[in-house]
Amino acid sequence: MSRTRTALLAAMALVAGATGTAFAVDPGGAGVAAVPCTVDYKIQNQWSTGFTAAVTVTNNSAAKSSWSLKWSYAGNQKVTSGWNAKLSQSGAAVTAANESYNAQLATGGSVSFGFQGSYSGSNAIPATFTLDGVTCNVDSGGPGGPTDPPDPGGPANRVNNPYDGAKVYVNPEWSANAAAEPGGSRIANQPTGVWLDRIAAINGAGGKMGLRAHLDEALRQKGSGELVVQLVIYNLPGRDCAALASNGELKAGEIDRYRTEYIDPIKAILADSKYSSLRIVTTVEIDSLPNLVTNTGSRPTATPQCDVMKANGNYVKGVGYALNKLGDVPNVYNYVDAGHHGWIGWDDNFAPSATLFKEAASAEGATVNDVHGFITNTANYSALKEDNFSISDNVAGKSVRESKWVDWNRYVDELSFAQAFRNQLVSAGFPSGIGMLIDTSRNGWGGTDRPTGPGAQTTVDTYVDGGRYDRRINPGNWCNQSGAGLGERPQAGPAAGIDAYVWMKPPGESDGASKEIPNPEGKGFDRMCDPTYEGNPRNGNNPSGALPDAPLSGHWFSAQFRQLMQNAYPPLS
């Protein structure tokens, strides 16, 4: 027997004897003692009254179909919230049990979870851990112990605007698609959102990168500076109840699957200390809550699916659960979807939407402090700023509000709407420091058709229609719009109350298929994506304005991408 092996076995025996561990037979046949389990308990971040901790359990005994780790604190530590395990506490004794998705623990396998806690005085690492009643070896001597200062790559201090002073993650998959198009290299280095639009997307589906792969690449792009990663949380049960093209995989009543199979695994990954130096922006559930205001009840725009989602409360519960769980991660900044001015800018929708958002931000353990801000115009086309007319203009004895295009809305563009809605949200009870994001990925409306001045003052309609940048047939049109162009490039702090202009919707990714296409992604066919469709009450019964030959939502649409570049405003050089 070699000197190295003898020393190793002796060391293992000493460790086992000192901790009272049970012995397992050495698989090599030498009959030596082996540590049945190891616990790595590290304090990631600590302040005067609280801390966050990461725990990794390695199982060296027989494979397990469930597990339970227990320990006791010597001080007054209290677990206040956790992720990737079911945590409970009685006095000083803490129990962490598996979730449904991480119950299997193979021989030699590991499982990680984390939690946030409070304390006063000392915050010592527990001396003993037991896995299913068997004492484990404790590995806590390395960096990250309670007396160590935070590592340079540890959780960054929270900032008022995560985009300030930071680069933003460039998704290499989108960048490759963009660069492959003629002229696409001009914008292939722009940051876009990463859409987690089904459970399989978390680990990667269809050959695409999973969440960890994106975060690992973000660390590489970050270097020594600050970097924002933009994630779209988009998988509510009964998703997008008024637009079939983006229906999701979860049925209306599957709120428990949303919690345990979707949000909980995302949180577990985001809470990994490996990613604590990133600024992670989550945009929570696009096109969900506004539907409960505008597309339910006796309104002509109501749909049976939206009535179901309002009755079962699963949009409110799902958004609240996501905000609560993701908001526990210190370096996550939650932004909630707030539709766009052509959706909730009317008097009947404006204040009720803010009230509903407050309800969702107070559900499932969430509070308004879990919301860093809101995002408007995601996956939409509303012009950022209409320069040629304003809501206060009068023409031929009529207010601009009376024009067919504005139709009594109080807002004519996204910037004025986002700034006003921010004030409404603060009035509804959100913190005064919330910021707004505006998606400008497809709202430039440039090209030869872009007006250079106001329309003729013959009527209020000629005045508005002749001067508006937004060339859609109706502001209710949302699918693959003909004539659209790239808008303002992503930038931080561009206007009062606006944290950033972003490209959360990656340009060139389809809104929905022009015809029914069978698929395993749960995505339906919506006639609003059919260029021959003559409309419904939600777009004033107007033609859809959609481009032909579009693929499934989220799939690359080359013709759309080329149009967006051609009609970009500001123009591409």
Which residues are catalytically annotated? 287, 511
- Residues in a beta bridge with 79: 117
- The answer to whether 218 and 269 have CB atoms below 8 angstroms apart is no
Could you tell me what percentage of the chain is helix, strand and coil, using 3-state DSSP and rounding each to the nearest 5?
A: 30, 20, 50
**219 CA to centre of own chain:** 18
Helices (H) and strands (E) in the chain, counts: 14, 20
Report CA torsion sign: 421, 426, 427, 428: positive
Determine the residue type at 98. N
In the block, tokens 């340009």 appear at: 507
- Residues in a beta bridge with 243: none
Give the tokens for residue 285: 């559930």
Cβ burial 132-147 (10 Å sphere, 16+ → b, else e) = eeebbbbebeeebebe
Cβ burial 321-353 (10 Å sphere, 16+ → b, else e) = bbbbbbbbbbbbbbbbbbbbbbbbbeeebbebb
DSSP of 83-137, one letter per residue?
ESSEEEEETTEEEEE--GGG--B-TT-EEEEEEEEE-SS--PPPS-EEETTEEEE
Query: Pairing between strand 332-337 and 279-284?
Result: parallel
In the block, tokens 């207010």 appear at: 399
- Residues 538 and 339: their CA atoms lie apart, in Å, by 14
- Report which of 102, 32, 29, 34 is spatially closest to residue 65, judged by C-alpha positions: 102
- The answer to whether 387 and 428 have CB atoms below 8 angstroms apart is no
In the block, tokens 């949009």 appear at: 315
- Residues 197 and 249: their CA atoms lie apart, in Å, by 9
Residue 97: left if φ>0, alpha if ψ -120 to 50, beta else—which one?
A: beta
Q: What angle do CA 235, 530, 551 make, to 5 degrees?
A: 55
In the block, tokens 């922006």 appear at: 281
